[in-house]
């Protein structure tokens, strides 16, 4: 093995180690963020970890989503209602992640689940897997696959929605 070949292998290994470390940091930030307190924390995570020109794809959607701003816009539309249901409606939200061993040095894989439990105790769990590619500590590509849902979607009756029926009219 030549010295330049050995150096290239070490650089590749170092880059893979850096990507694995960044992926663990990103995943921990997502899991530890509290949607009932704020949705802004999730948007800040996108700013911190995703490249400006990130490309996101899914096995359930043929069109890729390109760009950090478009990702944040899509997340905003999902996170705000989830935040309101958690903060006001009593929805319990938990996110879990576990790494999946991959066979490529430049990819990081993980399995995710999002569990929503209403005030009635009814629950729904959505799970999926993610493959990320990193470049210079930024996600440049993310692919979501193997989507599954356990349980039926929750309804308004599963939330604690304040009503104004109990407020007396003032004359």
Q: What is the pLDDT of residue 166?
A: 53
The structure tokens 């849902």 sit at: 149
At residue 61, the pLDDT reads: 85
Residue 158: partners with Cβ closer than 8 Å, 6 or more residues away: 91, 118, 119, 120, 122
Tokens describing residue 156: 């308004």
Phi, psi of 86 (to 5 degrees): -75, -45
Task: Tell me the per-residue pLDDT of 138-160, one tens digit each, with 9 for 90 and over.
Answer: 999 999 999 999 999 999 999 99
Q: What is the pLDDT of residue 48?
A: 97
Residues 105-130 pLDDT 10s: 779 999 999 999 999 999 999 999 99
pLDDT of residue 3 exceeding 60: no
Q: What is the pTM of this model?
A: 0.84
Q: Are 29 and 43 in contact (CB under 8 A)?
A: no
Both tokens assigned to 50: 């995703």
Distance of CA 137 to the CA centre of its chain: 17
Query: 110 with 130: CB under 8 angstroms?
Result: yes
Strand ranges of the sheet holding 138-150, from the earlier edge strand across to the other edge: 61-66, 50-58, 138-150, 123-135, 107-117, 92-100
* 141 Cβ neighbours under 8 A, 6+ residues apart: 54, 55, 56, 57, 132, 133
One-character DSSP codes across 93-114: EEEEEEEE--S-TTEEEEEEEE
State residue 18's pLDDT score.
Answer: 87
| pLDDT tens digits for range 73-85 | 999 999 999 999 9
Q: What is the pLDDT of residue 15?
A: 67
């Amino acid at each position: 093995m030549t010295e330049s070949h050995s150096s290239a292998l070490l650089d590749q290994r170092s880059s893979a180690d850096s990507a694995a470390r960044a992926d663990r940091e990103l995943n921990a930030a997502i899991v530890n963020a509290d949607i009932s307190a704020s949705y802004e924390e999730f948007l800040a995570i996108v700013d911190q970890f995703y490249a400006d020109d990130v490309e996101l794809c899914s096995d359930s959607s043929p069109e890729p989503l390109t760009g950090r701003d478009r990702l944040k816009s899509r997340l905003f539309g999902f996170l705000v209602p989830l935040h309101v249901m958690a903060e006001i409606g009593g929805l319990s939200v938990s996110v879990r992640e576990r790494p999946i061993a991959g066979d490529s040095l430049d990819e990081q894989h993980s399995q995710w689940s999002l569990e929503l439990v209403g005030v009635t105790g009814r629950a729904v769990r959505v799970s999926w897997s993610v493959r990320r590619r990193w470049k210079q500590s930024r996600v440049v590509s993310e692919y979501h696959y193997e989507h599954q849902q356990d349980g039926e979607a929750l309804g308004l009756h599963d939330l604690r929605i304040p009503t104004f029926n109990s407020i007396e009219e003032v004359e």
